[in-house]
Structure 1
Amino acid sequence: MQRALVGLFDLWFRARGTRAPRISWVIAPNEVAGTAAALARALPNAFTFMRTRHPFYDFQYDYIPPANQSPSSRARRKWISEPMLFARLANSASGFIYLSHIPLLSFQQDERRFEFNFLRRRGVKIVFFFTGSDVRSMELMHQHELETGLPNIATYLGQVAPKFREPAFERKQRAIGMVADEFADEIFTMRVDQRAYIDRETQPYPYLLPDDEISEDLERFEAVERPVILHAPSSPIIKGTQLVRAAVEALRREGFDFEYVELNRVPYEEVKSLLARSHIVLNQFYAHVPGVFGVEAMAAGCVVLMSADEQIEPDLPRGSNRAWVVTKHWEVYHQLKSLLEEPERLRPQAEAGLAWINEHARASVAGPKLQSVLDRLIEP
């Protein structure tokens, strides 16, 4: 039914001979850690088409469902508004950027093949941004653990969410990778941290922090009498919260004086306000990349402890390990204790993190690099 409606709306737009104002990139269909908003800021004349509302982000988008909808308005959106908008955008945009693995149309069960074929027939470019377990294979990540001896996100993900252990999930990940290989004009991901069934070359996932969200104010490090330590996991077990709590308790028992704040599932603005006064951020200890929160913490001028490691993840820029304190899962206590014993190390480390942000993650620097990659796809 949805497919038929898309086809009818497409014929209607073509018969009328009218086109919407030219759009560079459609960014869809859901927000992932602020990435949709960041892409929209970085790409002139982009259009954000969000199918769902995010519980913790309140960015402005070009299309997003209302907060409260009646059953009739929900039905109207799924059967009229969204198919019509998809058809219109397919006839006016240079390309579609898909965040994650979710289809833009609600009722497609073909790994988005209908959408991609529809776009391809109209000469629309297709770009994938994969952000984690939307593409990550549990089997390939377990294989990586055997190769390196390092636990990773997949080690515990199946324990906290049994669906990740099911054969059906792995079959789906294979299908997602195969479809990406078949249809994508470009793929952005992290090759090791998000090992997937993708055979072609990919681009490193870019971080695009707004320039005005990067703080150069490190005054709080002038006289650190009682350090503020922040841990804000999106998913506690796979981020290593159990390791953090054990380290914090052990250090308190040894007499170290600090303020420990743990946040979980709170609005984005609350996290930002805590970052502004934190000295140390304990990020995540089973991942090989910083993640959006790790980058935001460095941009706020915090010293960040995390397991991200350029020696393991080749998509990280060279020299990245100087920007944060590389901390494997067994090192949380020792690395944190070392910083508390030597507070004079805090400011230089925070400065190193900011230098990395300015070189690799500042929107005014990273945005043009991203745009140049995308422009090459749509050049005549």
Structure 2
Amino acid sequence: MLSLPEPVRVRLIPHTLGYSSADLPPVISPPPGEVRLLVAPANYAGQGYEWARAAERLPGVGAANLVVARGTDWGFRADHRVVENVAVDSAWWYRRHATSVLTGFTHVLVESERPLLGGYCAGDVRREADALRTAGIAVGYVSHGSDLRLPSRHADRERWSPFRDQDWPLLPVLEETARANAAFLAEQDATVFVSTPELVLDYPGAVWLPVVIDGARWANPTPALLRATPVVVHAPTNPIIKGTELIEPTTTRLSDEGVIDYRRIEGVAASDMPTIVATSDVVLEQFRLGIYSATAIEAMAGGRLVVGYLSEQVREHVRLVTGLEIPIVQASVDTLESVLRDVVARPEQYRALAEQGPRFVAAVHDGALSAAVLEPFLRSADRRRKAPGSLDEHRTARRRGRTA
């Protein structure tokens, strides 16, 4: 039975493949438009989906995103999903997927230096880049963070850097991965975007592509800090990176004293987070990397007071690009207690800062700025096909790029 075609085996003996027919999604249909963009395959924090929507604000641009799912994706929105073992192992699926991409899209934005054609090029991102370009597709890259952030460089400049912990088992892997990815990007000589401003230190030629959120999902008419005991939440997707273990002695003690009502949020679906944020007063962001993430942006959109540690480089970069100050209260591991006590003592002053959040998000993170950042890449007309590619174009790409 192992010699049967894959579509037959997946119905009769799926246990031999590791996936079932229910795991085989439809192949992507390219969107309409003279410019047709695919953003794939990571979709961290739903950003692939949001950047695709931002791109569609531009005249003549159609966009779609694909997530190749690894484990739990927490229900972030996506246009298309495929589980990783199908993307890698199902020749029936990835050949059709590659045909659709190579003949139907004009531009791709590759997330985190990961392959977006599944097993078509055996996961080799260099061969995949060659196949995409041979098909006439303009290729750009976007880094989400740990794929490009060099731990040794970060440890040198940040006192609370998580990469100063030499006992962290992942440290050598992260260092090697970041160096390899930076070298790969340099080889490609392509447009490189980064989702957080500090990553321009790791790849100086990169362009900041702001994180995008749907502000309407987070809008909250109730002001923050009306309670005598503010609700303070912290939602660490990665406690080591966020500095959770460094701040919780402080937050737990203050909560035990009745100064704040501290709540740690974990394992919650993305769809439940707007309600959690809406019922809080203060959101603690992160205290080790010096950046602000989607969590902080969502909280600002909801008019919550965000407290965290931002490097001056991040604040200055945002200031230079947008002309705006980031309305996040500065606090370090050392100063968090005094900051929170001050928030409780002077709620009116901090409420005024929280009320700046929705305006900042609307100006920087609603998708309009991200669309403007993407536009030069998407208007690269010299490498753009006017219509979906021909079979001859695709066959050339297959000869150069296919392994299965």
Q: TM-score range by the shorter chain?
A: 0.7 to 0.9
Residue 318 of structure 2: aligned partner: 316
8 A contact 1:142–1:155 mirrored in 2: yes
**Could you tell me which residue of structure 2 aligns to residue 34 of structure 1?**
46
Cα gap change, 1:53 to 1:37, in 2 (>3 Å) = farther
1:343 Cα shift? 1.5
Instruction: Name the structure 2 match of 1:338.
Output: 342
Q: Shift of the alpha carbon at 1:51?
A: 1.9
1:152 paired to 2:161: yes
Q: Report the count of equivalent residues.
A: 344
How large is the RMSD of aligned CA atoms in angstroms?
2.9
Partner Cα separation in structure 2 for residue 29 and residue 75 of structure 1: 10
Paired with 1:31 and 1:224, the residues of 2 have a C-alpha distance of 37
Letter in 2 for 1:373: P
- Aligned equivalent of 2:187, options 170, 182, 185: 182
Question: Aligned pair in 2 of structure 1 residues 207, 164: CA closer, same or farther (>3 Å)?
Answer: same
Partner secondary structure for residue 65 of structure 1: strand
Identify if the C-alpha distance between structure 1 residues 164 and 378 changes in structure 2 by more than 3 Å, giving closer, same or farther: farther
Question: Structure 2 regions of 5+ residues with no counterpart?
Answer: 1-29, 57-61, 385-404
Residues 60 and 257 from structure 1, CA distance in 2 versus in 1: closer, same or farther, beyond 3 angstroms?
closer
Amino acid at match of 1:121: T
- 1:63 counterpart letter in structure 2: H
- TM-score, normalising length from structure 1? 0.80
Unaligned runs of 5+ in 1: 1-18
Q: Distance in 2 between matches of 1:213 and 1:75?
A: 32
Residue of 63, 81, 102 corresponding to 1:64 = 81
User: 271, 281, 284: which one pairs with 1:282?
Assistant: 284
Find the counterpart in structure 1 of residue 272 from structure 2.
270
| Residues in 1 aligned to 2:78 and 2:364: alpha-carbon distance in whole angstroms | 26
1:237 and 1:174 mapped to 2: Cα distance? 21
Matched, 1:120 2:127: no
Kindly provide the amino acid, as one letter, of the partner of residue 66 in structure 2: F
In the other structure, the counterpart of 1:164 is 171
SS at match of 2:363: helix
In 2, Cα distance between the equivalents of 1:284 and 1:76? 34
Matching residue within 184, 205, 211 for 2:209: 205
Equivalent residue for 1:46, pick from 63, 70, 81: 63
Match of 2:352 in 1: 348
Distance 2:72 2:123 in 1: 28
Please list every run of at least 4 consecutive aligned residues from structure 1 whose deviation after the TM superposition is greater than 6 angstroms. none
Distance 1:155 1:195 in 2: 18
Match of 2:396 in 1: none
Tell me how far apart the structure 1 counterparts of residues 240 and 176 of structure 2 sit (CA, whole Å).
25
Does 204-213 or 182-191 show the bigger shift?
Answer: 182-191
TM-score by length of 2: 0.76
Higher relative contact order at CA 8 Å, sep ≥6: structure 1 or structure 2?
Answer: 2
- Determine which of 130, 134, 143 is the counterpart of 2:143: 130
